[in-house]
Structure 1
Amino acid sequence: MLSLDALRPVTSAALLADFAAEHGVDAATSLLGTGMTAARLADADAEITAGQELQLVRNIVRALGDRPGLGFEVGPRYRAAIHGIWGYALISSPTVGQAIQTVARYFELSYSYSRASLEISGDEARIGFDDSDIPADVRGFLLERDVSGSIANWREVFQRPLSLRRIEIGGGLLSRLRPLLADMGVDAEVIAAPGETHFFVVEAAILAEPMPAASPETARLLEQQCAALLHRRVQRTRLAGEVRDLLVRRGQASLGQTEVAAALHMSVRTLRRRLVEEGTSFRDISAETFGILAEELLSTGLPVEQVAYRLGYAGAPSFTTAFKQWRGITPGRFAREHPGR
């Protein structure tokens, strides 16, 4: 799974917020606990973390209900060009096979939370999407989004229908996806995959076919830019990841910037500046980290008082106040609505 600290353009988050608004979900609900503002969503040059967008997805799914088909409504809006140079590198690839290899190699530059792969087995090519690390409460929605978006993009980029031998759906999601794919007009066998990964299976021969907008020189240049962009994003998110790891290891919500900066051998001022450069803040990382830890503990059935104690709060009242700021509901209500999540 893509690191939750990895940076990405705000484009997808803005698209999702607009989609939610069309369904009656206001911006305050969509942005709850994300650390984002409406102004940041409107800034086309802004970057956010994958974790911030994932929280926005969770808010939308919670507000609209995790009904089958919701992701299919939003997926076709993710056209290739929305992904920037990664999308253009795909379009300009010389052959279908090279396009798919570029997709898989730089999949972290997409807006997906899965890992992509390409396997050749006899006369079949298997395009895999491993989303096994995605939280269960948003996995169905995100799989729908990625599958429907991939099918729509295939038609647009390759200028032909997606000629599938079959689709294999893993992770117990077959019953959810099969009727949706039929409604979408996908003429292929849809079966259960033995593991967690999902596959589009096509004839291997199509990998040698030329792309409609092939431009080998452009493709090479764009692939170099993809590599540079991916490296730059990884470099810029290192500190946020270190802060998150430290907070998880210590497990104390009372841990402040001073202690964290000292543990990382830097001044508080440097810590703040570098986190701002990575598009986040200590407050946002702390709220997200302990919010997720609190959710996991509450879902196991632990009483609110024990969760508060384990996370280092002075008592249930202070923990309840912090959790309401994070989730918008009390921890007791969250535990009742999400037992054994």
Structure 2
Amino acid sequence: MVDYFQALGVSVPRLLAGTGLTQSNLNDPDTDILARQELRLVANILAQVSDAQAHATALGNRYHYSAYGLWGYGLVCCNTVEQALALALKYLPLTYAFSGVDYREDGDQAVLSFTPPPLEPDISQFLLARDMVAAVLLVRELVGDSFNQIVNSPVSYGAGSNDVVFPKKLLDRSLPQANAVTAAMCEQQCRELIHRRRISSGVTADVEQFLRGQRWQKPVLAEVAQYLNMSERSLKRHLQQEGASFRELVEQYRSSEACRLLQQHDLLVSEIALRLGFSDTSTFSQAFKRWHGISPSSYQKKCRNL
């Protein structure tokens, strides 16, 4: 991202302002870049480039499979597109994507659905466009020129979901660089990376994962403790040691989930309030204003105008 927008004339110090990163950090393979640092960079881009949203597509086309490290090479070495897709979705947290990605089948069509990240609307829209184009590029590099017909197909705007649709028969296609041994080795290392992240992130990350899996249900401390095979008291103590609390984590989950749902144009504010466990729309609206400074209806309208 820095290289792309630097080429457009934006200075590196302006792009990296407030991220805590320097140019030398970006060139150091041992540097760990946090999500919040990347989000600050995106905010800087949107502030510095007047037509930044128009560049999201071109930016997405720079995310070649080699940019993803072990995850990308693992996909290339899979035997078939179907195997590569399964591996990609299983280890999606190892990628740059902020958008949620789900797969489903509809008759003879395969559908990749992209959920906008629960962020400020302009940042969410920028990242969604980048992530979708990057995913299409990745499939094209895996499959080859036969995927061009999908890339060049008409784009429909104003739809209720963000989907990439392609023939399901494409999943059976053998990949030209398949290597079962290398694919297995890459998957093993991806699995180890995920495991190390889980250990380093602690109980807080496990609670957050549980909350994401309990969509539409009101979270209860006892259920989370049972899921983690520990007592409620022990769970509270672990969270306190990590500087968190169950109540705060639930609030963060509801806040981000509210943003995600409000970006789906087919849902009413009253429906979203009910799904998130609020007793009524008024209580939800008050909570949303406390989280984001604007009403749910205003946020939803802002999303629709992007």
TM-score range, shorter chain: 0.5 to 0.7
Please give the per-residue CA displacement for 1:190-237, whole angstroms capped at 9, x wherever unaligned.
225754x42111111111111111112221221121111122123223
Out of 138, 142, 145, the position equivalent to 2:127 is: 142
Cα contact 2:198–2:205 (8 A) shared by 1: no
The residue identity in structure 2 corresponding to 1:135 is E
Partner of 1:81: 66
Q: CA deviation at 1:51?
A: 1.3
1: CA distance, partners of 2:241 / 2:58? 48
Is the 2:76–2:177 contact (alpha carbons within 8 Å) kept by the matching residues of 1?
yes
Q: Does 1:199 align with 2:163?
A: yes
The residue that corresponds to 2:194 in the other structure is 230
Q: Which of the numbers 47, 51, 54 marks the counterpart of 2:36? A: 51
Mapped contact 2:66–2:72 kept (Cα < 8 A)? yes
TM-score using structure 1 length: 0.57
CA distance in structure 2 between the partners assigned to 1:52 and 1:239 by the alignment: 23
Partners of 2:100 and 2:117 within 8 A in 1: no
Partners of 2:158 and 2:192 in 1: how far apart? 35
SS in 2 for 1:234: helix
Deviation per CA, 1:104-141, whole angstroms, max 9, x where unpaired?
Answer: 11111111101222212221111122224243121222
The percent of aligned pairs where both chains have the same amino acid is 30
Report if the CA contact (8 A) 1:154-1:161 is conserved.
no
User: CA distance change for structure 1 residues 43 and 163 in 2, over 3 Å: closer, same or farther?
Assistant: closer
Map Cα deviations across residues 71-113 of structure 1 (whole Å, 9 max, x no partner). 1222221110110000011101111111111111111111110
C-alpha distance in 2, partners of 1:228/1:298? 36
CA 1:237–1:19 in 2, change beyond 3 Å: closer, same or farther? farther
Bigger Cα displacement from structure 2, 73-82 vs 233-242: 233-242
Read off the aligned partner of 1:217 and give its amino acid letter: V
Kept after mapping to 2: 8 A contact 1:163/1:202: no
Alignment of 1:131-170 (within 5 A): 131-162=116-147
User: 1:254-273 alignment to 2 at 5 Å?
Assistant: 264-265=240-241
2:293 to 290, 296, 300: 300
Give the number of equivalent residue pairs: 223
Partner of 1:91: 76
1:36 aligns to 2:21 (yes or no): yes
Question: Counterpart of 2:91?
Answer: 106
Which residue identity is paired with 2:113?
G
Q: Is 1:31–1:56's contact at 8 Å kept on the other side of the alignment?
A: yes
Pair 1:130 & 2:115 matched:
yes
Runs of 5+ in structure 2 lacking a partner? Answer: 207-238, 244-288, 295-301
Q: Residues 265 and 217 of structure 1: is their aligned pair in 2 closer, same or farther, counting only changes over 3 Å?
A: closer
- Measured after TM superposition, the shift of residue 70 of structure 1 is 0.7
CA displacement at 1:297 relative to structure 2: 7.1
Whole-angstrom distance in 1 between the partners of 2:82 and 2:96: 21
Runs (5+) with no aligned partner, structure 1? 1-15, 166-185, 243-262, 272-295, 302-339
When residues 240 and 49 of structure 1 are mapped into structure 2, their CA distance, relative to the original with a 3 A threshold, is farther
- Maintained 8 Å contact 2:116/2:125: no
Are residues 1:70 and 2:55 paired?
A: yes
Q: How far off its partner does 1:264 sit?
A: 4.1
How far, CA to CA, are the matches of 1:46 and 1:188 in structure 2? Answer: 39
Inter-partner Cα distance in structure 2 for 1:111 and 1:23 = 22
Equivalent pair of 2:98/2:131 in contact (CA under 8 Å): no
Aligned to 2:9: 24
Counterpart in the other structure of 1:190: 155
When residues 119 and 48 of structure 1 are mapped into structure 2, their CA distance, relative to the original with a 3 A threshold, is same
Alignment-mate amino acid for residue 103 of structure 1: A
Name the amino acid aligned to 2:47: R
What TM-score does the superposition give when structure 2 sets the normalisation length? 0.63
Deviation track 1:142-199 (CA, whole Å, cap 9, x = no partner) reads 223223323333332212242566xxxxxxxxxxxxxxxxxxxx4323225754x421
- Helix, strand or coil for the counterpart of 1:202? strand
Determine the C-alpha separation between the residues in 2 that align with 1:226 and 1:193.
Answer: 36
Larger helix proportion of the pair: 2
Distance 1:51 1:161 in 2: 37
Q: Secondary structure at the match of 1:81?
A: helix
